[in-house]
Amino acid sequence: MAAPTAKSKPTEKVEVVRPQADDEDVMIDMDATNQYSQQEETQTEEPVENTNTNPEAMVLDESGKPRFVSAKESGMKVKLESRKVAVPPHRMGPLKTAWPKIYPPLVDHLHLQVRMNLRTKTVEMRTCAKTVDPGALQKGADFVKAFTLGFDIDDAIALLRLDDLYIDTFEIKDIKTLHGDHLSRAIGRIAGKDGRTKFAIENATRTRIVLADSKIHILGGFTHIKIARKAVVSLILGSPPGKIYGNLRTVSSRMKERS
């Protein structure tokens, strides 16, 4: 009884192997593999085509550095935003008298809408459809803020025309804790007789300095502010003005050589 069962098993295996040799089954498998390979090639080629469709996205200059289009030339629309700049009570009078000189640069140059709110004692600005520069609102706020701190209008207008100007503000107590007559003498050393020391620092470092009680505001470039602040700090710490003048002469001569 065991012999016929052993013969029947190999016959079943032969019947299973025969349909695998048909050509039709092999052709179907080859077509399926070709379709999958074509889909994979198209998927890998799509990101390469997208990167080459915009060759002007990055332009290199002679030194190999990327050159990007400015925000003004890109044609992007400026968002409608508004900002308020608070005016101290002691600067409301000068603001009213100098208002005919303050709003023309904001309206004509930056194309902003400006108004002076007497009830809230603020200067309100907002962008409009004619505003082109995305940073116009920030420049206008810096310009009005510089005037409220005590800078002249001509010096504040430089913030609108130049991009590398900043305002640095610090107090005497940040450098050294002084009270009473010691504080007044430190302020006197910074100002000098008839303001000569302050003017000497301004001319040597190409900055503008405003002394508002114990607060000091410096307007200028980054490196120029650093040099002017170093001179003011040395005066606060008690250095004689003669030594400061000597250091300013060397600094001014170096700045002239670089320029």
User: Between 73 and 30, whose confidence is greater?
Assistant: 73
CATH number of this structure's domain 76-163? 3.30.1370.10
Task: Name beta bridge partners: 170.
Answer: 216
pLDDT in tens, 86-114: 999 999 999 999 999 999 999 988 888 99
Q: Exposed, middle or buried: residue 159 (CB in 10 Å: 0-12, 13-18, 19+)?
A: buried
H/E element, 50: helix 23-52
Distance CA 86, CA 218 (A): 20
Percent share of the chain, pLDDT over 90: 26
- Say yes or no: domain 164-258 is CATH 3.30.1370.10: yes
Q: Do domains 76-163 and 164-258 have the same CATH topology?
A: yes
**C-alpha to C-alpha distances, 55 to 51, 62, 71, 83, 213, nearest whole angstrom:** 8, 17, 19, 38, 57
pLDDT of the residue at 27: 43
Extents of the domains making up the chain: 76-163, 164-258
**C-alpha to C-alpha distances, 89 to 103, 120, 209, 219, nearest whole angstrom:** 19, 11, 21, 22
Which token pair is 171? Answer: 């107090």
Task: Name beta bridge partners: 207.
Answer: none
Could you give the 3-state DSSP secondary structure of residue 131?
A: coil
pLDDT in tens, 32-50: 445 555 555 555 444 444 4
